[in-house]
């Protein structure tokens, strides 16, 4: 049987070689993460409906592949903003998808990297459902910004975080860092507070009003609230205003080329905001590659709002 240290080294070497950053934590620390979230809810810092909505995702860090996990592996990789081109009645229109949305292919690649290191040792690995940003901050892989986004050194917020679990005991310890989990540059800088188009980022304090965040509003169905300025839309899903104005992101604000294109007929279908099961196979496949399937009922609404905002913006 290979010793614990050797397996740990193999995991680290495999992830490093594949370009991933990572930290380890014991699986038992999942309960500590839940306690942190519960504490915020009890203090009234989290919207109750959002807390209840996501609570069931964190029932256990186990997965079907790993029913009895012993170690959590939190991983980060670079994830840039990209563009998608649509063809509307008056011509082509390009919409931005912020970082982190397109993630499933890279997640599978990361999972295969971990399998290559753990399976030869008779160990299993799978995806874990835990509060990923909080775990990344507690392990030192990332720090929180005032905007509650996770900042990974060398990547800023242009990074994707994922947590995996394994039944291998890698000798992990969750050593809480002393002091705040927020970046040291945040207290004197309030760019995100001033840039936030919905006022969800507090001037002081540490928790945003997530139910007022533009990302939440445009990821969920329904009419736009009356108080929302129609000119604030800037992304097909999500929002990039606080990232664009953050000094910690200044080196990563480049957008990739257009990664997908929908012709006029396909765009007309998307504008109908159909449920996924009512979409043609070709469109479902494209949305699948973009990891946007769950947003099929809001993409048309968001696209028109984004176009109106772009047309009305000052020259």
Q: Would you kindly state where each structural domain of the chain is located, as residue ranges? A: 4-312
Hey, which residues does 152 pair with through a beta bridge?
Answer: 156
What was the pLDDT predicted at 43? 80
- pLDDT under 70: residue ranges of the chain: 1-2, 51, 54-60, 176-180, 315
What was the pLDDT predicted at 55? 67
Other beta carbons within 10 Å of 135:
27
Tokens of 31: 């309960």
End-to-end CA distance of the chain: 67
- Rounded to whole angstroms, the Cα distance separating 133 from 265 reads 39
Task: Find, among 308, 266, 307, the residue nearest to 290 by Cα.
Answer: 266
What was the pLDDT predicted at 178? 57
What was the pLDDT predicted at 31? 85
């Amino acid at each position: 049987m290979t010793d614990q240290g050797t397996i740990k080294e193999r995991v680290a070497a495999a992830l490093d070689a594949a370009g991933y950053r990572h930290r380890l934590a014991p699986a038992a620390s999942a309960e500590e993460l839940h306690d942190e979230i519960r504490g915020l809810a009890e203090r009234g810092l989290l919207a109750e409906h959002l807390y209840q909505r996501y609570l069931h995702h964190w029932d256990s860090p186990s997965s079907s592949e790993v029913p009895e996990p012993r170690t959590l592996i939190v991983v980060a990789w670079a994830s840039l903003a990209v563009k998608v081109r649509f063809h509307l009645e008056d011509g082509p229109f390009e919409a931005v998808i912020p970082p982190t949305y397109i993630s499933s292919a890279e997640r599978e690649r990361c999972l295969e990297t971990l399998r290559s290191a753990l399976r030869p040792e008779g160990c299993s690995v799978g995806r874990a459902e835990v509060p990923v940003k909080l775990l990344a901050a507690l392990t030192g892989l990332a720090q929180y910004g005032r905007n509650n986004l996770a900042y990974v050194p060398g990547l800023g917020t242009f990074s994707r975080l994922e947590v995996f679990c394994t039944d291998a005991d890698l000798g992990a310890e969750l050593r809480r860092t002393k002091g705040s989990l927020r970046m040291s540059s945040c207290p004197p800088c309030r760019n995100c507070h001033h840039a936030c188009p919905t006022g969800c980022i507090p001037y002081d304090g540490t928790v945003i009003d997530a139910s007022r965040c533009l990302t939440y509003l445009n990821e969920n169905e329904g009419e736009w609230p009356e108080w929302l300025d129609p000119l604030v839309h800037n992304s097909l899903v999500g929002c990039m205003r606080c990232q664009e104005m953050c000094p910690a992101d200044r080196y990563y604000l480049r957008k990739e080329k257009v990664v997908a294109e929908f012709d006029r007929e396909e765009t007309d279908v998307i504008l109908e905001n159909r449920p996924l099961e009512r979409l043609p196979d070709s469109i479902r496949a494209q949305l699948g590659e973009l990891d946007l399937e769950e947003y099929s009922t809001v993409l048309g609404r968001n696209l028109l709002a984004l176009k109106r905002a772009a047309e009305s913006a000052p020259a």
